[in-house]
Amino acid sequence: MPVTIGDGLAFCGHALTEGELDLIRQITREFANLAWTELAATICELLQWRRPNGRLKGRECYLFLRELHRRGWLPWLTAPRPRARRTPLAKLTSGPAPSPTILTGPLYSYRPIRLELIQEVAQRRLFREYLDRYHYLGYRAPYGAQLRYWVRPAQPELPPLAALLFTSAAWRMAPRDQWIGWSEPMRQRHLPLVVNHSRFLILPWAQISNLASHILSCAARQLPADWQAHYGVEPVLLETLVDQARYRGVCYRASNWIQVGITQGRGRMDRSGHAQQIPKQIFLYPLHRRWRQRLCTPSLPS
C-alpha cells in the first residue's frame, strides 16, 4: 500500500512531513530486528519528539508505529507479540473485594479527603481492574502523559471512594479550540498546557452526597503541581467529555466547569473523520486566571 502524506494521521497533533515519514520508514527498515520500544526511542531521538520536561514521547511513538504498521505502511516490521503473562482485564480478580459496607452519610464525616497518586504496580493493576469492572467505558490504555489517583477518605481503614485518570489533551476539538480562541500554531505550541480528565469513577460503595463536586474541586487544586512535577509543565486548563445520553454533567456544572459544545465523534489520532465515536459534551475548567493569555501568546511564559 503506497504511503500518502496527509492521509489522516498525525503524531501528537503534528502533521508529518515527507522527510519525517521517509526517516521513519528508513529507520524501521534498516533496524527491523530491534524491539518496537527501541525503534520508538530511536525515532524520538532523531526527530526530537520530546515532552516539555525533555523526556522522549516513547509510548506515543510506539502506538504511532503500530498504527502505521496496521495501515500497511511498514510491511517489513513484524507485529509485536502480546505479553505472555498479561491476563485479560475482564478476568482480573486478584484485587480485594469491594467494601461490604455501603458508605453513606454527610460528606464532612469523610473529610478531609485526599488524592493519592498511584505509582505502585499493584495499585495500578487494581486501578485498571476497578475501571474495567465499574466504569461504563471500561479500561483502555491511556495515550500520552497520564496521572492516576485514588480518592481516599480521612479514615485510613476505609476503601477508596473514587478513581481519577488524567491524560494528555485531545489533539483537536473544534468547540474547545474556538472557545479558547487560539490559532493553529498556538494550539500546536501550547496544547501541553491543557489536561484531559479522562476517567472519573465514583466507586459503587461510596454513596455520599456532594462527593463528586468536592472531588473535582480538590483535583483542580492538586493536579497542576503534580503534573508539573512529572512532566515539567504547569497546566492552565482542564477538559473532559460527558456522554449526554448517560449523564447531564451535574457535578461539573456544580464545580463551575463550562460547557462549550459537542464533539464531532472522532478518535484521538483521527484527522479524516473515519474513526467515529459517540458525540459528547465538552466541559472546560480554567486553572489560572490568565489561562487564555498563556494559551494564546506566541511563546510560553517564563
pTM of whole model > 0.85?
no
Nearest to 169, CA basis, from 204, 187, 198, 194: 194
Rounded to an integer, the average pLDDT of 111-134 is 94
Q: Assign a CATH topology to domain 95-296.
A: Aminopeptidase (3.40.630)
Q: Which three cell numbers stand for residue 290?
A: 490568565
CA–CA gap between residue 58 and residue 224 (Å, rounded): 23
Question: What is the reported pLDDT for 170?
Answer: 86
Q: What whole-number percentage of the chain has pLDDT above 70? A: 84
Mean pLDDT of 122-129: 93
Q: What is the per-residue pLDDT across 180-196, written as a single tens digit (0 to 9) for each?
A: 999 988 888 898 899 99
Rounded to an integer, the average pLDDT of 33-60 is 83
Burial class (CB in 10 A: 0-12, 13-18, 19+), 83: exposed
Residue 300, pLDDT score: 46
Q: Which three cell numbers stand for residue 214?
A: 468536592
Q: Three-state SS for 49?
A: coil
| Res. 148: pLDDT tops 70 | yes
Sign of CA dihedral 162, 163, 167, 172: negative
Q: Is residue 19 helix, strand or coil?
A: helix
Range with lowest mean pLDDT among 33-42, 155-164, 179-188: 33-42
CA atoms of 15 and 122, how far apart (whole Å):
38
Contact 199, 135 (CB under 8 A): yes
How does pLDDT run across 251-297, given as a tens digit for each residue? 999 999 999 999 876 554 444 444 446 789 999 999 999 999 999 98
Phi-psi region of 84 (alpha: psi -120 to 50; beta: other; left: phi over 0): alpha
Q: Residue 92: pLDDT above 90?
A: no
Average pLDDT of the residues in 146-152:
96
Between these two residues, 213 and 91, which has the higher pLDDT value?
A: 213
pLDDT interval class at 108 (50, 70, 90): very high
pLDDT cut 90: percent of the chain above it: 47
Q: What secondary structure does DSSP assign to 197-232, as a single string?
A: EEEEEE-TTB--TTHHHHHHHHHHHHHHHHHHHHHS
pLDDT digits (tens, 9 = 90+) for 190-220: 988 999 999 999 999 999 999 999 999 999 9
80-84, 157-161, 168-172: range with lowest mean pLDDT: 80-84
Q: Sorting pLDDT into bands at 50, 70 and 90, what band is 42?
A: confident
The 3-state DSSP class for residue 295 equals helix
- What one-character DSSP code corresponds to residue 59? H
Outline where 4-57 has alpha helix (H): 18-30, 36-47
* Phi, psi dihedral angles at 164 (to 5 degrees): -125, 140
Task: Tell whether the model's pLDDT for residue 141 goes beyond 60.
Answer: yes
Q: Which of 279, 221, 215, 288 is CA-nearest to residue 252?
A: 215
Secondary structure letter of residue 154 according to DSSP: S
Q: Which residue has the higher pLDDT, 152 or 79?
A: 152
- What is the Cα–Cα distance from 272 to 292, expressed in whole angstroms? 28
Residue-level pLDDT at 93: 47
